[in-house]
Amino acid sequence: MTALSLATLPLLFQVTLTLGLVPGWTEILKVDSDSGTDGGLTVTGGGTSGGYSLTGLAADHQYMVSLKGGPSFSVYLLEAGITSISGLWNTDGLFKGNGTSGPGLSNVVVWKTRVDDTPPPESVPEPAAMAGLMAVGAGIVLNRRKKAEQA
């Protein structure tokens, strides 16, 4: 299990609006307080900081975790292929309705989307393409020289 502070993960965005439905992402787990459990998500602590544990993730999905406190959200993208993670959370980067930082945690939500596992198209090797073009060019030059010698 990877131990990691959410603060060290890539911050996708912070908003002060209703998160609503995120296109392509599905809400799968939610703890509606500063501590509790929903499936593989466990949130501990209270108020403005604590710990979390997230287990049972499928390696073929991408996940993000949102923290809501006051009217603000912070959303963190988990690395593809992670199947479990645990660490610490805090609301230092979130803002209360009056604009001050550090509201109490309202909820933690885990979202998922399918990782596109289709293989990338095969690329044409450039050296082979260049060699082919050079061979065609050399053939044209030789053909012109041959015609010039015959005339």
pLDDT, tens digit (0-9, with 9 covering 90-100), for 114-124: 766 555 566 65
**% of the chain exceeding 90 in pLDDT:** 23
**% of the chain exceeding 70 in pLDDT:** 74
pLDDT confidence tier of residue 96, bands split at 50, 70 and 90: confident
Number of Cβ within 10 Å of residue 58's Cβ equals 12
Per-residue confidence (pLDDT) for residue 113, from 0 to 100: 84
φ, ψ (nearest 5 deg) of residue 87:
170, -150
Span 20-55, pLDDT tens digits = 455 678 889 999 999 999 999 999 998 889 999 999
Q: What is the spatial distance between Cα 122 and Cα 52, in angstroms, rounded to a whole number?
A: 41
The sign of the dihedral angle between the CA atoms of 8, 32, 82, 64 is negative
Contact between 39 and 22 (Cβ < 8 Å): no
Report the Cα 31 to chain-centroid distance in Å.
Answer: 21
Per-residue confidence (pLDDT) for residue 118, from 0 to 100: 56
Domains in the chain: boundaries: 2-114
Per-residue confidence (pLDDT) for residue 126, from 0 to 100: 65
Per-residue confidence (pLDDT) for residue 19, from 0 to 100: 44
